[in-house]
Amino acid sequence: MSQIGRRRFLAGAGALLAAPLAHAQGPGRMCRVGALFNVSGPAMQPYRAALAECLAAHGFVEDRNLRIDARGAYGEFHQDRAIARELLAAKADALFVSGDRAVRAAHGATTTVPIVFTLVADPVAAGVVKTYAIPGGNVTGVSNRLGELLRKRLELVRELVPAASRVVVLARSLKHTIRRIGMRFETRLYAWALSCSNTVLLESIRFCKPARRR
User: For residue range 165-199, what is the model confidence (pLDDT) as tens digits?
Assistant: 666 666 555 555 555 555 555 555 544 444 444 44
What's the total number of domains in the chain? Answer: 2
- At 112 the pLDDT is 94
More confident position, 156 or 177:
156
- The residue-averaged pLDDT of 55-68 equals 92
Phi, psi (degrees; rounded to nearest 5) at 205: -65, -45
- The residue-averaged pLDDT of 14-28 equals 83
Mean pLDDT over each residue of the chain, to the nearest integer: 76
Cα 70 to the center of its chain, rounded Å: 15
Give the pLDDT band of residue 90 (cuts 50, 70, 90).
very high
Give the pLDDT band of residue 160 (cuts 50, 70, 90).
confident
The whole domain housing 133 covers 3-143
Phi, psi (degrees; rounded to nearest 5) at 72: -95, 140
Of 58-62, 104-108, 172-176, 189-193, the least confident = 189-193
Residue 133: partners with Cβ closer than 8 Å, 6 or more residues away: none
Examine the domain organization and report whether 93 and 29 are in the same domain: yes
> Would 13 be classed as within a structural domain?
yes
Among residues 125, 143, 161, which one ends one of the domains?
143
Question: Rounded CA gap, 126 and 108, in Å?
Answer: 12
* Residues 141, 123 contacting (CB under 8 angstroms): yes
More confident position, 124 or 161:
124
Examine the domain organization and report whether 156 and 137 are in the same domain: no
Examine the domain organization and report whether 190 and 135 are in the same domain: no
- The residue-averaged pLDDT of 142-147 equals 70
Among residues 121, 143, 165, which one ends one of the domains?
143
Examine the domain organization and report whether 183 and 77 are in the same domain: no
Task: Provide the whole-model pTM.
Answer: 0.69
- At 196 the pLDDT is 42
- The residue-averaged pLDDT of 116-120 equals 87
Nearest residue to 33 via CA among 16, 46, 12: 16
- The residue-averaged pLDDT of 196-204 equals 42
Examine the domain organization and report whether 34 and 133 are in the same domain: yes
Examine the domain organization and report whether 88 and 190 are in the same domain: no
Positive or negative: CA dihedral 158, 164, 166, 169? negative
- At 63 the pLDDT is 92
Of 1-10, 50-59, 63-72, the least confident = 1-10
> Would 150 be classed as within a structural domain?
yes
